[in-house]
């Protein structure tokens, strides 16, 4: 007689034990057993997140030399430097999953890994620095505050420090926006134009709608994600509209309205065709961003060689001394 279902294997038992730990709210640590698919998903998500931090330095780095005062220049330099640091923490976190960061960087440079769509838009005016700090870092905070409770311990811990720094970035951005919004008519027009250009791309940062998000089901089940893309996008809109109103600006959405029943600011349709174009490499600045990263990588070759030679020299001296 043929059995109707196969007996559970040792692998099935391990998966069940892993899922029971997740269900109990335990944190998964690097040396713990985990399904290969969980490991792969985290490597994908963390590496794309790290790449986004590093590529995210480019649109703002572009304005460091043109910041309008020494104070603004200092805080913008500090912000851009923080983003580089965030990339490093998250690459380190990804390495705890058994990958080599050089391979991850290679995937960014050869175009096989994604990074956040938002950084493929140009930064055309000083007001963009305010609006990026406010909206882009604001969206990142909404996403990452939840990620600080993700099931993979090293990622969750990296998010705690990163969110603290992102809060500072958001405040410096909103301060720039407030100053311009209360400034001359030309400054007001400049900041309104920046909001018009960055509003919809900021909403796209949360990813495709839940019905078109192939990874969400698995990630939610394993508590890597704790909220869906649409839930977080709605939370961002609800938090941000009162801030828009406080500085008497508007968002470019004629369908935006408050729904008293749900307590949500309901927004109009997102242009998913544009989003898909950008994540497939056809956004306004994709080529420019990757060219800049490749050039920076090549220019840094001598630094990597010098650091390796220095480490080898010290290692051989330590061996000789022993």
Q: Does 213 bind ligand BYC (CB under 6 A)?
A: yes
The one among 89, 206, 265, 267 contacting ligand BYC by CB under 6 A: 206
- CB count, 10 Å around CB of 64? 15
Give the SS3 label for residue 185: helix
**Whether 146 contacts 236, CB under 8 Å:** no
Burial class (CB in 10 A: 0-12, 13-18, 19+), 231: middle
Report the site for ligand BYC in 16-45 (rule: CB under 6 A).
Answer: 44-45
- Triad 198, 48, 62: Cα angle to 5°: 45
Here the tokens at position 235 are 């939370």
What is the SS3 string spanning 246-292? HCCCCCCCCCCEEECCCCEEECCCCCHHHHHHHHHHHCCCHHHHHHH
Report the site for ligand BYC in 286-315 (rule: CB under 6 A).
Answer: none
Distance CA 239, CA 264 (A): 10
Report the site for ligand BYC in 144-203 (rule: CB under 6 A).
Answer: none
Minimum gap (Å) between residue 55 Cβ and ligand BYC? 8
For ligand BYC, the closer CB: 52 or 123: 52
**Whether 203 contacts 237, CB under 8 Å:** yes
For ligand BYC, the closer CB: 217 or 311: 217
CA atoms within 13 A on the CB side of 41: 20
Q: Does 226 bind ligand BYC (CB under 6 A)?
A: no
Q: Which residue has the tokens 């056809």?
A: 282
Minimum gap (Å) between residue 226 Cβ and ligand BYC? 10
Here the tokens at position 27 are 């944190």
Q: Quick one: which segment of 46-54, 68-76, 121-129, 239-247 binds ligand BYC (CB under 6 A)? A: 46-54
For ligand BYC, the closer CB: 183 or 210: 210
How many residues bind ligand BYC, per CB under 6 A?
27
Give the SS3 label for residue 276: helix
Distance CA 134, CA 167 (A): 9
Minimum gap (Å) between residue 13 Cβ and ligand BYC? 28
Minimum gap (Å) between residue 116 Cβ and ligand BYC? 4
Q: Does 204 bind ligand BYC (CB under 6 A)?
A: yes
From residue 249 to residue 288, the character string flagging contacts with ligand BYC as x (rule: CB under 6 A) and all else as - is ------------------------------x---------
Q: Does 137 bind ligand BYC (CB under 6 A)?
A: yes
| Backbone φ and ψ of 101, nearest 5° | -65, -30
| Binding residues vs ligand BYC (CB under 6 A) | 44-45, 48-49, 52-53, 56, 83, 114, 116-117, 136-137, 140, 143, 204-208, 213-216, 219, 229, 279
């Amino acid at each position: 007689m043929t059995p109707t279902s196969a007996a559970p294997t040792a692998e099935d038992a391990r998966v069940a034990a892993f899922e029971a730990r997740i269900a109990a709210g335990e944190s998964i640590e690097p040396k713990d057993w985990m399904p290969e698919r969980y490991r792969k998903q985290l490597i994908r998500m963390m590496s794309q997140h790290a790449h986004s931090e590093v590529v995210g330095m480019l649109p703002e780095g572009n304005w460091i030399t043109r910041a309008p005062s020494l104070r603004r220049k200092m805080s913008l330099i500090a912000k851009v430097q923080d983003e580089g640091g965030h990339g490093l923490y998250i690459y380190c976190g990804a390495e705890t999953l058994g990958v080599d960061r050089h391979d991850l960087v290679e995937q960014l440079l050869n175009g096989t890994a994604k990074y956040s769509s938002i950084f493929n838009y140009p930064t055309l005016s000083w007001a963009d620095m305010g609006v990026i700090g406010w909206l882009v870092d604001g969206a990142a905070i909404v996403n990452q505050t939840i990620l600080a409770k993700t099931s993979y311990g090293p990622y969750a811990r990296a998010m705690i420090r990163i969110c603290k720094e992102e809060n500072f970035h958001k405040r410096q951005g909103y301060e720039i926006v407030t100053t311009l919004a209360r400034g001359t008519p030309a400054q007001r027009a400049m900041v309104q134009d920046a909001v018009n250009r960055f509003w919809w791309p900021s909403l796209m940062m949360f990813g495709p709608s839940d019905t078109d998000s192939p990874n969400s089901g698995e990630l939610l089940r394993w508590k890597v994600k704790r909220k869906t893309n649409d839930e977080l996008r709605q939370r961002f809109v609800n938090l941000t509209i009162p801030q828009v109103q406080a500085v008497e600006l508007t968002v470019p959405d004629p369908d935006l309205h408050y729904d008293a029943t749900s307590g949500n600011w309901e927004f109009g349709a997102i242009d998913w065709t544009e989003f898909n174009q950008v994540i497939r490499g056809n956004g306004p600045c994709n080529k420019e961003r990757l060219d800049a990263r490749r050039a920076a990588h090549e220019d840094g070759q001598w630094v990597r060689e010098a650091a390796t030679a220095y480490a080898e020299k010290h290692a051989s001296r330590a061996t000789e001394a022993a």
